[in-house]
Amino acid sequence: MTARIIDGKEVAAKLRATLAARIATLPFAPGLRVVRVGDDPASGVYVRNKDKAAKTAGFDSATLQLPESTSEAELLALVEQLNNDPAVDGILVQLPLPKQINAQRVLETIDPAKDVDGFHAVNAGRLATGQKGLVPCTPKGVMHLLAEAGTSLAGARAVVLGRSNIVGKPMAALLLAADATVTVVHSRTRDLAAECRRAEVLIAAVGKPEMVKGDWIAEGATVIDVGINRLPDGRLVGDVAFNEAIGHAGAITPVPGGVGPMTIACLLENTLEAALGRRGVAG
């Protein structure tokens, strides 16, 4: 079997176009503010891409750049100011933050109604209890890709590899909400390969280059590779050994060009949802 490639760039472009069309009908431009502290080079490219995608789709987007030496109190004061600004619908504080700042405290200060990263405990709690809220962008993007791939989730055996708060846990909650039978595996799991082999839907989010081998994948499974790993030779690879997996999976996402493009598109989707939610307009 040769797997069908799920093209994240195409799905993301389609989602961005849908959002742009919706925004064109609104009497206001949803406001997104991305706060960046210091100059971590990896996040710099990402922040510029977010800003460009947001502006192209019709959002009122701006990046607020603060110096590396910013204190926690200064950052919290800025977040409060954005919380109180009626023109701002979405606030995203780019991680990582410098050492002097407690990231958790900052994330918990963002108004949950403007928390477009979906990292606030209130939004995590809503997701865990099946209530409407803002959902973390990467797992939300994975759900779009599964829908586009035509993967049926109700009753399916889904395995999530990784249990972080930003990917693994919300991913498991979304799959459970879609009626999949969900297993979460992690660094203390006894036989990872055996657990993965049972999966009809396998989501890999570990951050270990090509850890998931071809023979870990059940014939015909849908494989979504969230991992982004830079090899010493400069190549970007996922958590799945793509060239092996393609001979077993039914459908698979590439790296790059799979989940990555969906994350920004879902950030924009969340910003639009936040803007409509704050104004009491149905999505």
Q: Which residues are known catalytic residues? A: 50, 94, 117
Q: Which of 263, 268, 270, 272 binds ligand NDP (CB under 6 A)?
A: 263
128: exposed, middle or buried (Cβ count in 10 Å: 0-12, 13-18, 19+): middle
Question: What is the footprint of ligand NDP within residues 228-257 (CB under 6 A)?
Answer: 228-229
Provide the minimum distance between the beta carbon of 202 and ligand NDP in the complex, in angstroms, as a whole number: 13
From the list 185, 131, 188, 130, the residue with the least C-alpha distance to 159 is 185
What is the separation, in whole angstroms, between the first and last Cα of the chain? 40
Q: Report if residue 163 touches ligand NDP, rule: CB under 6 A.
A: yes
Give the 3-state secondary structure of residue 276.
Answer: helix
Whether the Cβ atoms of residue 227 and residue 209 lie closer than 8 Å to each other: yes
Stretch near ligand NDP under the rule CB under 6 A, chosen from 16-24, 125-133, 158-166, 173-181: 158-166
Q: Which of 31, 168, 254, 277 binds ligand NDP (CB under 6 A)?
A: 168
H-helix or E-strand spanning residue 31: strand 31-37
Q: Which is nearer to ligand NDP, 226 or 274 (CB)?
A: 226
In this structure, which amino acid lies at residue 249?
A: A
Q: Report if residue 170 touches ligand NDP, rule: CB under 6 A.
A: no
Whether the Cβ atoms of residue 176 and residue 160 lie closer than 8 Å to each other: no
Q: Which is nearer to ligand NDP, 186 or 235 (CB)?
A: 186
Question: What is the footprint of ligand NDP within residues 186-225 (CB under 6 A)?
Answer: 186-188, 192, 205-208
Q: Which residues bind ligand NDP (CB under 6 A)?
A: 138, 162-164, 166-168, 186-188, 192, 205-208, 226-229, 259-260, 263
